[in-house]
Amino acid sequence: MRIYSLFLIAGLLIGCSQPEARKPVVRKTSSFMSESIERNKILTKAENQLLQKKIEGDSLHQYLNSEQGFWYYYERRDTLNGPMPETGDLIVFNYDVRDLAEQVIFSEQELGPQSYTVDKEELISGLQDGLKLMREGERITFLFPSYKAYGYAGSERINPNQPLIYKVELIKVNKLTDNEKN
């Protein structure tokens, strides 16, 4: 019995030793990642060419290039310096979505007025960035490459990798009060 107890204690001591660290496994990057990067470069270049062709074919408007990677022009610009949305502000806006051939995908009437808490709710990244460039009462047309819209996934009526035109009117900016900011 005593020998059995010694073996049990020895087994517990050996079994309770600290685990030994393993060396990291070195993995070489697969060709999938390289191929994906190249495919994205080709897609982005093709989309930018389509968007540039659209811009060059529109001599009626002066397009601005945003720092966020999309283009836009003012249909109606605020000259009185109305409020601009900031993080946390509740805004109301109308918009419609079109393809580059100006075919309506989602109409303003179909979508109705939209409420959005700036940077606190989900929207496509292009629209999130675009709304922050607007003043209350302005109407802007945005040209979004697919990576600023629905990207690879697309949507029910939007094809994967489809650049889009958004016509947006910022109706109301409800600013946060000092109490609400805290």
- Domain ranges (residues) in the chain: 36-181
Nearest to 151 by CA among 168, 131, 126, 134: 126
Across residues 17-41, what is the average pLDDT?
A: 74
Quote the pLDDT of residue 57: 94
Quote the pLDDT of residue 122: 92
- Please check the confidence at residue 121 and state whether its pLDDT lies above 80: yes
**Greater confidence, 78 or 113?**
113
What distances in angstroms separate CA 133 from CA 61, 96, 142, 146, 171, one per listed residue?
A: 18, 18, 11, 20, 14
Quote the pLDDT of residue 21: 67
Quote the pLDDT of residue 69: 93
Q: What is the DSSP string of 72-114?
A: EEEEE--SS------TT-EEEEEEEEE-TT--EEE-HHHH--E
110 and 104 Cβ atoms separated by less than 8 Å: no
Domain at 36-181, CATH class: alpha beta
User: What is the token pair recorded at 164?
Assistant: 């889009």
**Greater confidence, 36 or 159?**
159
Quote the pLDDT of residue 78: 84
Q: Which of 31-40, 104-113, 123-132 has the lowest mean pLDDT?
A: 31-40
**Greater confidence, 180 or 136?**
136
Residue that has been written with the tokens 């009060």 in this structure: 177
Tell me the average pLDDT of the chain.
Answer: 88
- Rounded Cα distance, 85 and 113, in Å: 16
- Please check the confidence at residue 30 and state whether its pLDDT lies above 80: no
Mean pLDDT is highest, among 39-48, 138-147, 151-160, for: 138-147
Quote the pLDDT of residue 32: 80
- Please check the confidence at residue 182 and state whether its pLDDT lies above 60: no
- Please check the confidence at residue 108 and state whether its pLDDT lies above 90: yes
**pTM for the whole structure:** 0.79
Handedness of CA 81, 85, 86, 88 (dihedral sign): positive
114 and 171 Cβ atoms separated by less than 8 Å: no
